[in-house]
Amino acid sequence: MFDKQDLLAGMNVLVVDDVAFSLTLVSGMLREMGSEEVITANGGVDALKILQSDQGREIDLVVLDVNMPMVDGLTILKMIRDGLTEAAKSVAVAILTGVSEEQVVRTAFSLGVDAYVMKPVSKASLGARLAKAVAQRQENRVSTRLP
């Protein structure tokens, strides 16, 4: 069982999903993992409003659903990595979805996703994958600052 309560200590997390139940469930798990602030976006359009504002600069981790109307999670991931939002291009991004199609998974990883978590999600599976994603991103930031 995953019970590390400080995994996301001091981190601001954006959770994006078009299903209210998923937003509530995942937000609660992230708070239990120590997230300083959990910001929720009801779908991709709302997420882009946040990511393209000054608030986007404060995001340390983005948790995205893939299948959302109008703007899907893969589009948001690509926009982040291409520098088309105020969020850092190197921000940790996790995909949280019920879609396990091989092409979707390949596309997500080719766009630079840090974690892929299948729904229904448990705190243990979410925590384990986010721990790896956050650690990898932090390691990459340190290595790019070394002389």
In the predicted structure, residue 28 carries a pLDDT above the cut 50: yes
Mean pLDDT of 5-23: 89
Determine the pLDDT at residue 1: 42
> In the prediction, which pLDDT does 76 show?
95
- pLDDT (tens digit per residue) in 117-135: 888 888 988 998 998 888 8
Q: Is residue 2 part of a domain?
A: no
**Is residue 142 scored above 50 in pLDDT?**
no
Token representation of residue 56 = 């986007």
**Position 122 in a domain:** yes
Q: Is the pLDDT of residue 138 over 80?
A: no
Is residue 3 a part of any domain in this protein? no
Interval 41-85: pLDDT, tens: 999 999 999 999 988 888 999 999 999 999 999 999 999 999 999
Higher pLDDT, 74 or 5: 74
Token representation of residue 122: 């448990």
What is the total count of domains within the chain?
Answer: 1
1 inside domain: no
The domain spanning residue 76 has which CATH number? 3.40.50.2300
State which residues form the domain around 138: 12-145
* 77 falls within a domain: yes
Is 86 within the bounds of a domain?
Answer: yes
Confidence class for position 4, pLDDT limits 50, 70, 90:
low
Does 106 score more than 80 pLDDT? yes
* Residue spans of alpha helices (H) in 33-145: 44-51, 73-81, 102-110, 123-145
Grouping H, G, I as helix, E, B as strand and the rest as coil, residue 99 is coil
d(CA 8, CA 18): 23
Would residue 69 count as lying in a domain? Answer: yes
Task: Report yes or no: 102 and 52 within 8 Å, Cβ to Cβ.
Answer: no
